[in-house]
Structure 1
Amino acid sequence: MEQKKLDPRYKVANREALIGVGIAMINFFIWYSFAYGLGSKPVEEYQYIFGLPSWFFYSCVLGFLIITVIVWLVVKFLFSDVPFEEEEQ
């Protein structure tokens, strides 16, 4: 029986998908940690940054900026171009 070779693009796609899932998990961890860590205090004890509660600023504003930089770095240095055309065999 002839064994079909697995297209090498699948290996690249799987690796990049796992990196994407990892980044999403990091994003959720950052958001959850700040939102529920700092946001679980009584409202009277909140500290404010730029008029926003600190838990919101760190989880949503700063977290977004951190994840944006991480995604840019990952796309720039870890992801690779993959041709979509099928190779003739």
Structure 2
Amino acid sequence: MLEVLGYLAGGLTTLAFVPQVVQIYKTKSAKDVSLAMFLLFTMGVIMWLGYGLMTHSFPVVAANAVTLLLSLVILFFKYKYRDIA
């Protein structure tokens, strides 16, 4: 039961980033995304992923591996769609 809760929590928090990725891709704009926040968030996700690996917690590893991928996509879009004025 505890592991199921971990998978559900990880799945929901990971899926929460999908609409942001889709929105940025559709609008070709990431100007409203805070670069500082996403850099800090990405560092935290990397640390959670490391924690999950060290504690052999597959729900933590799975959720943070996918979240890291989504976060890196958002950071890539932030760079790709930056205003060069």
TM (norm. structure 2) is 0.34
Structure number, greater radius of gyration: 1
Higher helix share: 2
Richer in strand (by share): 1
Q: Which has the higher contact order (CA 8 A, sep 6+)?
A: 2
